[in-house]
Structure 1
Amino acid sequence: MQPIFVASEVGTLQRLLIHSPDSGLGKVVPSKAQDWLFEDIVHLDTMRKDEYDYYVKILLYFLDPEKVKGKIAQIDADPKRSFYKPDHPEYFNSDKVIEFQKLLADILEQEAIKTKLIAAICAVEHEWYSTQAELNELSPVDLAKTLISGTTPSGEMLFSPVPNLIFTRDIGITINDHLLLNKPAKQARTREALLAQYIFYTHPIFEPLRGKIIELPDNELYFLLPDNEKNYNKTTLEGGDVMMVAPNHLVIGVSERTTVFAAQQSIKILFEKNVVDKITVVRIPFKRDYMHLDTVCTQVKKNVWVVLGSLLKQGRHAEDQIDPTMSGLIPPKADEDVKIVQFYKDGTSPKELASLEELLTQISVEDLGCREEEVTFIFSGNNEFPYGAREQWTDSCNLLALKEGVVIGYDRNDKTLEAFRQKGFRIIRAADLIHEFEEGLSSPETLTDTFILLPSAELSRARGGSHCMSMPILRT
């Protein structure tokens, strides 16, 4: 049985959970787009064949090359790219680049799980008993597709899709050898969280996590609170706000999607279970622009970070009184500065950090052994107005490290890419890199300091980047 362990944002990626765009993305309509957390209507075929196609190929080349090496021409000859999904005979079926839908179909082979999950989903979706009976007649493969897309094989739309499932980062986060489950902030993500729970608790792949899955408790007094206090006292947490930056150090963002209460509960449980020694809580402005912590910064190397420049030096002013408490993380308004408080398992008093710059530098130097003068920040939009904000909106700061110094991100953020070039990174299109791999001109093992460009006209409209589209379960 393969281990499940993540203690870094930039260690060599060995296994991850993804979900390729499904038919539900093609059913988002303008009247429901914002309810389903979309800003726009995407073109599904373009997203699948011309964009996400390269994401899967790159992941396979780095993590499971035998599934794709020498087969690119054959894959590209299939107009439907049927290697994407587990219900097609050409599905790549990797145990390293793991498709969520495949795991769901696997557990639905067990009649007891199938019955329980159908009942749970129908309860969440307010469906009739007759719907349960209808779903029970489906094969595990068809049922998995239906529970995700909301549409039966016959084309009947039983309930809404879960189009955000493409962003698997948010359903859970691997913290050393434990798994922290999410508690979605928005109703639109409730079903995907329930599906994920069943997979994590019952699929054989996650057997190493038995007894190590962490579910955050709800606030038992929540329903007694006045309405003006409820937002800050409910348990909502999403994986885009959680970063495992070092074996001893977890960072949790308090944002539009993750509450102070959830951060408090995470600290309490993780310290009690001795999972980490230090947890830093970073409050970012509660704005749709930012949404999660990983939309404003991600790690590229131990000493290199990509970050939104306007937030880097924000924080406590010299004349401010230090208030290292969780209550100080609750913002009275959406445009508050960044606020950072660090908590320690050994009982040391919490410490407030002055800025995001101080935190990221501390991680590189104290946790990862870099020299302070080597710590480098690469800025969204090259820190030029108005490109910093424009390119952050299209995920310039949301990069997935395949290994230290080799990241994959969107091709549309020109100023940010120029900033990477200035720092010595090679910029190469995913298609060109795949060609190099196929011709033997380079290999994943030999790459250093490289930014791989993912086509992104449609993907970027879904409001999440390559970091969002990945849930690492093993890094070395």
Structure 2
Amino acid sequence: MNPLYVGSEVGQLRRVLLHRPERALNLLTPSNCHELLFDDVLSVERAGEEHDAFAQTLRDQGVEVLLLHDLLVETLSNSDAKQWLLDTQISDYRLGNCFAQDVREFLAEQPNEELATILLGGLSFSELPLRPDSMMQAMHAGTDFVLEPLPNHLFTRDTSCWIYGGVSLNPMAKAARQRETNHLRAIYRWHPLFSKQDFTYFYGNDEVNYDNATIEGGDVLVIGNGAVLVGMSERTTPQGVEHLAASLFKHGQATQVLALDLPKHRSCMHLDTVMTHMREDTFSIYPEVVRPDTPCWRLVPGKEGRIATYRETHFLPAIETALNLDKIELITTGGDSYEAEREQWNDANNVLTIKPGVVIGYERNTYTNEKYDKAGIQVLPIPGNELGRGRGGARCMSCPIERDSL
């Protein structure tokens, strides 16, 4: 089997991509955190320790952990990749003709380790040893960013998602995250771990304006048996879903896509914040959002390359049919209504399945973890008091590269 293959949400997880918090979190402040899509600043050292515990838990389960920073450093050793990233991330349109050229020349002289740190973590005007001879420099304070930090790279699930035998390089909805995708474009194109493998680009590999057709990996669940479940959230649009579905059908990698219409607000910014797959027949859900009346559509290949779309009366029978199951078990967020709302906000439903019935989740969500345990789901607890401030749990912080089918 191609080692770059994700056949399900619950089969044995074998390789995963993570990003340890670093420079970007150091540059996160109360005055810029909301613009950078964080609700609060984090204790950087503690967040790093929590992420190390997450990575070690994965390794203890036999999962190979790839780190984004390391892959980017290794990719930058390829001169074509380095030039492409400099041209793309520091374009003339971003910084103006003259200033962009000066910044690119400065960055090109940096060691690859330092360059990767800057691309991921940002660069301020005060850090540039350049003569202030452009309007850009004259009009900015030293603490302003030439290149904004990317703290949301922590959530590697969103930027790219592997679906069966290929990958979607996701056009992100928010400006604060759109540069992230270029790092994955470069890694998948030039890093020898990927460049020597045969896989399909489903979506997002072209350097075009994707306009309203955005999609993020937290909304994409590869539930198996040729089916994909997608949430249409504040970040993923119907246009994006249709484009992804059309490519999956064209390449014969999926037989149907089920699309759920979610509320468009931050507390359920992605499907996996309110619903995850934990065992072949078991899902975790937050029932205040994932309800019997949640609108659901089934997309299947149509005639002459078109998509045939059908409105489903209820998402549960649609999933049961897709997975050839008689009945699906739903485990709802634990505690009373107040406790459940708090635990959903703290990513109780956003667990990462390692193998059927074994998941990683934040230890702080005691009521929900107890319900999982009673249902026969083993929770491998990790600390998340700091990491959780970014509004993402174990699934958000992981991009599976290799996982077994059901």
User: How high is the TM-score relative to the length of structure 2?
Assistant: 0.87
Amino acid of the residue matched to residue 117 of structure 2?
Answer: K
Match for residue 376 of structure 1?
Answer: 329
| 1:217-237: CA deviation from partner (whole Å, max 9, x where unpaired) | 99x999xxxxxxxxxx71211
Q: 1:206 to 1:453 in 2, by over 3 A?
A: same
Q: Distance in 1 between matches of 2:209 and 2:167?
A: 26
Q: What SS does the corresponding residue of 2:229 show, helix, strand or coil?
A: strand
Q: What SS does the corresponding residue of 2:258 show, helix, strand or coil?
A: strand
Q: What SS does the corresponding residue of 1:386 show, helix, strand or coil?
A: helix
- Within 5 A, what are the aligned runs for 1:360-371? 360=319, 362=320, 366-371=321-326
Q: What SS does the corresponding residue of 2:289 show, helix, strand or coil?
A: helix
Match for residue 387 of structure 1?
Answer: 339
Q: CA RMSD in A?
A: 2.4
1:459 maps to 2:380? no
Match for residue 185 of structure 1?
Answer: 173
Amino acid of the residue matched to residue 464 of structure 1?
Answer: G
Q: Distance in 1 between matches of 2:115 and 2:171?
A: 24
Match for residue 277 of structure 2?
Answer: 299
2:84 equivalent among 92, 105, 116: 116
Match for residue 284 of structure 1?
Answer: 262
Q: 1:356 to 1:415 in 2, by over 3 A?
A: farther
Q: 1:217 to 1:43 in 2, by over 3 A?
A: closer
How far does residue 288 in structure 1 lie from its aligned partner after superposition?
A: 0.9
1:410 maps to 2:362? yes
Identity %: 30
Q: 1:284 to 1:110 in 2, by over 3 A?
A: same
Match for residue 51 of structure 2?
Answer: 52
1:240 equivalent among 209, 214, 218: 218
Amino acid of the residue matched to residue 114 of structure 2?
Answer: D
Q: Distance in 2 between matches of 1:301 and 1:19?
A: 26
Q: How many residues align?
A: 380
Match for residue 114 of structure 2?
Answer: 142
Match for residue 328 of structure 1?
Answer: none
Q: Distance in 2 between matches of 1:208 and 1:358?
A: 41
Q: What SS does the corresponding residue of 1:128 show, helix, strand or coil?
A: helix
Q: Distance in 1 between matches of 2:198 and 2:326?
A: 39
Q: Distance in 1 between matches of 2:235 and 2:318?
A: 21
Q: What SS does the corresponding residue of 2:189 show, helix, strand or coil?
A: helix
How far does residue 312 in structure 1 lie from its aligned partner after superposition?
A: 3.5
Segments of 5+ residues of structure 1 without an aligned counterpart are: 65-95, 223-232, 316-337, 425-448
1:340 equivalent among 293, 296, 303: 296
Given that residues 216 and 266 in structure 1 are in contact (C-alpha distance below 8 angstroms), is that contact kept between their aligned partners in structure 2? no
Q: Distance in 2 between matches of 1:159 and 1:192?
A: 12
Amino acid of the residue matched to residue 103 of structure 1?
Answer: L
- Between Structure 1 and Structure 2, which shows a larger proportion of strand residues? 2
12-21 or 209-218, which moves further after superposition? 209-218
Amino acid of the residue matched to residue 282 of structure 1?
Answer: L
- Within 5 A, what are the aligned runs for 1:64-83? none
Match for residue 11 of structure 1?
Answer: 11
How far does residue 158 in structure 1 lie from its aligned partner after superposition?
A: 4.1
Amino acid of the residue matched to residue 403 of structure 2?
Answer: R
How far does residue 369 in structure 1 lie from its aligned partner after superposition?
A: 4.5
Q: Distance in 2 between matches of 1:402 and 1:145?
A: 30
Q: Distance in 1 between matches of 2:325 and 2:75?
A: 44
How far does residue 216 in structure 1 lie from its aligned partner after superposition?
A: 4.1
Match for residue 264 of structure 1?
Answer: 242
Match for residue 435 of structure 1?
Answer: none
Q: 1:241 to 1:247 in 2, by over 3 A?
A: same
Moved over 6 A (4+): none
Given that residues 185 and 205 in structure 2 are in contact (C-alpha distance below 8 angstroms), is that contact kept between their aligned partners in structure 1? no
Q: Distance in 2 between matches of 1:349 and 1:40?
A: 43
Match for residue 375 of structure 2?
Answer: 423
| 1:82-128: CA deviation from partner (whole Å, max 9, x where unpaired) | xxxxxxxxxxxxxx310111111111112222122112111164252
How far does residue 346 in structure 1 lie from its aligned partner after superposition?
A: 5.4
Q: Distance in 2 between matches of 1:390 and 1:453?
A: 18
